Amino acid sequence: MTGRVSMQEREPTPPAPVAPLPPAVASPTAARRPRRAVLAVALVLVVVALLATGLAVAYGIERTSGDRAQPAVPTVPAPTVSRPPALRDLMPPTVRVGSAADGRGMSLDAGYRELLGSEFDAITPENAMKWANLEPSPDVYTWAGADQLVGFAEQHDQSVYGHTLLGRTDVPRWVDPQWSADQLRAVLRDHVTAVVSRYRGRVWAWDVINEALDEDGSLRDTLWLRKLGPGYIGEMFRWAHAADPGARLFINDYGVEGRTRKADALLELVRELRRAGVPVDGVGFQSHLRWDERPRDMVGNLRRFAKLGVSVAITELDVRIALPETAAKRERQAALYRQVLQACLAVPACVSFTVWGFTDARSWIPGYHPGYGAACIFDAALVPKPAHVALMDQLRRIPSPTGAGPGPG
């Protein structure tokens, strides 16, 4: 045998150690997915940070003492609202410009409310403060309508002219003509005191008595004159003054704008009342006029009342037109509105210029003067008429306080 060892006789060679298998390795595509997710999250965070920085710059984010960001309100200039000048913008500061106010219009018509609030700096209740409406039952007052008007005026920086404590047609039905003089005097006193006291300091002037004179200038034949005698007028002024010493007290009538027999009688009545110490502060000239009739010597008439030491006021101006309305009639109407304003401005004692409603949509004229209408300075669609243009033009002609020419507007 040879010296070679047979395969069976060799020492077996130990197997080479087997290295442990490495953990499973994802494919290259799978390995990139986590990195992409991380990048995506990072990118979102960067975008969020940039957006936050932009908002901070835009809205002025500030740190508080607690180190919490609080957004400051951005400063945005208020829009400038441009509107044409109104009567109240041009009227001299010594003269209020007003309108009678209709309660239904105030409640139901936004356009009516807006114009009433912007055009005038004084309002007069057309019906809301009349006795029959305020006290429909004995000692039962319905203040809602009057309160609404006074509140509206206060919201719009307007004065209130109270109308009226006693009118010839506005006595409640429950007032019994058979009552004694003492009973009637007590009822009248209580009414005047209750109404004036409620609005003390909120009504600048009152029509204490309305239409006390008849057409011929005599005292009107009323329940009060028959039962209480002519002294009831002075008593009413004294009761009103006691209830609100700061209110201006007026006697108001129609047909007295020019020199008429009735105006002469009113002048004498006011003179007598003031001689007796009655606190009559002013005379109201209603001025319900026709388009084709002008008051005679209106300026001279207002001046002779002013010489008594009282204020004068145009309290219920309207100018009715015989229908159908035409452009020529509107121009004559406008001229008459201008004339009445000129008269008021010519008399320093004239403290108020009031139109009796400003829109034909709510005028009382058609219901009381058949065949007439279109009496106001705005038409039924609230569009200014030539009468409004004439008033504005007249006001623009007023010299400025510096003497440099027309006033604002």
The catalytic residue positions are 211, 316
Q: Which residue has the tokens 């429950």?
A: 174
Per DSSP, 247 falls in state S
Sequence-separated (6 or more) residues with CB below 8 Å from residue 146:
125, 128, 129, 134, 199
What distance in Å separates the CA atoms of residue 265 and residue 253, rounded to the nearest whole number?
Answer: 11
What is the CB-side half-sphere exposure of residue 92 using CA atoms within 13 A?
21
Write 90-93 long-range contacts (CB < 8 A, 24+): 90/392, 90/395, 90/396, 90/398, 90/407, 90/408, 90/409, 91/121, 91/353, 91/395, 92/345, 92/398, 92/407
Judge contact between 317 and 120, C-beta under 8 A: no
Residue 93 corresponds to which tokens in the numbers above? 């500061």
Buried b (16+ CB within 10 A) or exposed e, 181-220: eeebbebbbebbbebbebbeebbbbbbbbbbbbeeebebe
Per DSSP, 120 falls in state -
